[in-house]
């Protein structure tokens, strides 16, 4: 059996240090529920606590792998490592609270802190897609443009930027970005916009 109190502590540290609103974790062992716990809130604006019916959208700023790793470490009796935070977390916050220039400034401030932040081209892609889903097109475009500033050969970012521009009604930019995506990865031709 594993130390549930240690696991509680690790998961609470994840919620706090990664600055995520809420988290729900369940562990099934030998066909039964070995652990079920909820942390934080569903939404920062409403402060409604996470419940067993809460629905979560997982994006690249929140790495499910790191939570799984922390849970597995705790179950095996190892010292859990919470790890680094995705660079998307502070950048997205800066963009939403202050604007595009603040997001770029935030990236410039943290880019050399590899012991604190993990950097991957995918980490801004999912928040951008989430923004597109809720019609925050300008935020999606800003995130994708920043991602391309950092990772200039990321075909997916060009592809999703093309989709965002099309959704905004900017067909010329959509076509330009689709062309760049296809130049890097011709497989996007099969996906359409």
Assess whether 157 and 99 both reside in one domain: yes
Q: How many residues does the chain have?
A: 193
Structural domain count, the chain: 2
Q: How open is the CA angle 90-96-97, to the nearest 5 degrees?
A: 85
Domain assignment of residue 186, yes or no? yes
Which pair of structure tokens corresponds to residue 39? 């942390």
The Cα 79–Cα 82 span in angstroms is: 10
In a domain, 80, yes or no: no
pLDDT in tens, 131-148: 888 888 999 999 999 999
Q: 93 and 181: one domain? A: yes
Same domain, 41 and 100: no
Give the rounded percent of residues in the chain with a pLDDT score beyond 70: 81
Together in a domain, 161 and 113:
yes
Same domain, 56 and 89: no
Q: Which domain holds residue 99?
A: 85-190
Is the pTM for the entire model greater than 0.85?
Answer: no
Contact 99, 138 (CB under 8 A): no
pLDDT (0 to 100) of residue 53: 83
In contact, 147 and 167? CB cutoff 8 Å = no
90-136 confidence digits (pLDDT tens): 888 788 788 889 989 999 998 888 777 778 787 788 788 888 888 88
Cα angle 51, 48, 141; round to 5: 100
Note the pLDDT tens digit of each residue in 61-76.
Answer: 445 555 665 666 666 6
């Amino acid at each position: 059996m594993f130390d549930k109190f240690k696991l509680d502590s690790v998961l609470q540290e994840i919620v706090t240090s990664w600055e995520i609103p809420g988290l729900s974790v369940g562990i099934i062992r030998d066909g039964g529920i070995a652990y079920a716990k909820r942390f934080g809130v569903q939404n920062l604006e409403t402060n409604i606590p996470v419940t067993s019916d809460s629905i979560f959208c997982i994006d690249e700023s929140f790495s499910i792998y790191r939570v799984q790793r922390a849970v597995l470490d705790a179950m095996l009796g190892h010292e859990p490592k919470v790890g680094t935070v995705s660079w998307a977390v502070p950048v997205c916050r800066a963009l939403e609270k202050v604007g595009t220039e603040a997001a770029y400034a935030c990236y410039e401030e943290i880019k050399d802190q590899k012991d604190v932040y993990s950097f991957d081209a995918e980490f801004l892609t999912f928040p951008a897609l989430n923004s597109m889903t809720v019609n925050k097109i300008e935020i999606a475009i800003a995130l994708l443009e920043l991602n391309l500033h950092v990772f200039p050969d990321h075909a997916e970012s060009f592809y999703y930027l093309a989709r965002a521009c099309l959704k905004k009604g900017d067909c010329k930019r959509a076509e330009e970005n689709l062309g760049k995506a296809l130049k890097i990865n011709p497989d996007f031709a099969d996906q359409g916009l």
